[in-house]
Amino acid sequence: MANVTVNFIECKDKKPKPNADKIAFGKHFSDHMFVMDYQADKGWFDPRIVPYEPITLDPAAMIFHYGQTVFEGLKAYRTPRDRILLFRPEKNFRRLNLSSDRLSIPAIDEELALNCLKQLLKVEKEWVPKAEGNSLYIRPFIIATEPNLSLAPSQTYQFIIILSPVGSYYKEGIQPVRIYVEDEYTRAVRGGTGTAKTAGNYAAAYKAQERATKEGYSQVLWLDGVEKKYIEEVGSMNVFFKVNGEIITPELNGSILEGITRMSIIEVLKDWGIPITERKLSLEELYEAYEQGQLEEAFGTGTAAVISPVGELNWGERKIQINKGEIGELSQRLYDTLTGIQTGKIADTYSWTIEVK
């Protein structure tokens, strides 16, 4: 199925591209999108590239009522030599299927999906921004479309990919963020949907983010749902700490999303011979390390920011500053390495990038 024919209906009225230095995240979309349908009796069918246009759904479509939906997020980068690169996109389609499994959504053919994405990017290659630090954000998602208020998995779905040119995450250089430890609201719990990239996890986090913002913090640090003791994620990112020369990141415990930046960072650290441990890490332990002067760096990882240094933590009223509120040496080196590989500026010794030709 991976070499199936993708129908193409060309958009008549091409949109102007947004001004490179004024791009707001997630508000501009390219001229075309990819769509594929699913019916229980036919499987996935009719892959097509069509003009970017509204979706029309029955008001009883299951996506509106029972939340059967999954998504992914990745980027296409333009290199200085005008090549277009994707960073480990097969991992995104792998994870999309893992998310789908949790949400009782039928799997897609991962190879087919990647081929279709490449075809869409060929059509839309002018939409991959040229400006330094900018990129084309790619949002694949699946929604349940059957009009039926019964509590059961949908019999029909749509798989859609939309593209959005985005600006540099760090317009004025990397700014470490101040983090508020959330101890009331819960992002996810074992047996729940925390390991899946599904809509419901995200809106559920807004209340905590609201409070953090009100208190003057930019992100939330999430604790585990069971004991409210162990560190899980920061905002919608995975999180790493450098303690006395060792890097520690929370282990994949059944409620943490397995980030593709996370797995790449771990591989790079191992490659560099820097000790990296995936394990349970309590806030109490982290604060003790701080007291002993051993907490050297902290950073979130994700597709949007790649590396987001943490400059301050506030747990109750226990505020600590990490690395004088500045980006650490290792954080910077990891950022330069990952973004260098993604944008083709340094050699991709890991074979992580795929060129769209």
By CB under 8 A, is residue 198 in contact with a second copy? yes
Residue 310 in contact with residue 177, Cβ under 8 Å? yes
Of residues 203 and 347, the one with the C-beta less far from a second copy: 203
Buried b (16+ CB within 10 A) or exposed e, 179-189: bbbbeebbbbe
CB of 261 to a second copy, least distance (A): 16
User: In whole angstroms, how far apart are CA 343 and each of 90, 135, 335?
Assistant: 18, 9, 12
By CB under 8 A, is residue 152 in contact with a second copy? yes
Tell me the C-alpha distance between 102 and 78, whole Å. 34
By CB under 8 A, is residue 245 in contact with a second copy? no
Beta-carbon count within 10 A of 172 CB: 6
Residues of this chain, 204-233, that bind a second copy according to CB under 8 A: 204-207, 209-210, 225-226, 228
Q: Pairing between strand 219-223 and 177-182?
A: parallel
Task: Using alpha carbons, select from 291, 311, 286, 284 the residue that is nearest to residue 299.
Answer: 311
By CB under 8 A, is residue 249 in contact with a second copy? no
Task: Using alpha carbons, select from 275, 210, 273 the residue that is nearest to residue 247.
Answer: 275
Please pick, from the candidates 7, 19, 150, 244, the single residue that binds a second copy as defined by CB under 8 A.
150
Please pick, from the candidates 55, 107, 267, 318, the single residue that binds a second copy as defined by CB under 8 A.
55
By CB under 8 A, is residue 145 in contact with a second copy? no
Of residues 58 and 284, the one with the C-beta less far from a second copy: 58
Say which amino acid occupies 184: E
CB of 76 to a second copy, least distance (A): 15
Residue 270 structure tokens: 């191992």
Look at the chain and count its residues. Answer: 357
Print the binding letters for residues 165-184 with a second copy: x by CB under 8 A, - otherwise.
-------------------x
Please pick, from the candidates 30, 186, 301, 308, the single residue that binds a second copy as defined by CB under 8 A.
186
Q: Which stretch binds a second copy (CB under 8 A): 6-14, 37-45, 68-76, 324-332?
A: 68-76
By CB under 8 A, is residue 56 in contact with a second copy? yes
Q: Pairing between strand 74-78 and 84-87?
A: antiparallel
Task: Using alpha carbons, select from 185, 50, 196, 232 the residue that is nearest to residue 124.
Answer: 50
By CB under 8 A, is residue 44 in contact with a second copy? no
* Residue ranges that bind a second copy, judged by CB under 8 A: 24-27, 29, 33, 52-61, 63-69, 71, 102-104, 137, 139, 141, 143-144, 147-153, 160, 162, 164, 184-186, 188-193, 198-207, 209-210, 225-226, 228, 235-236
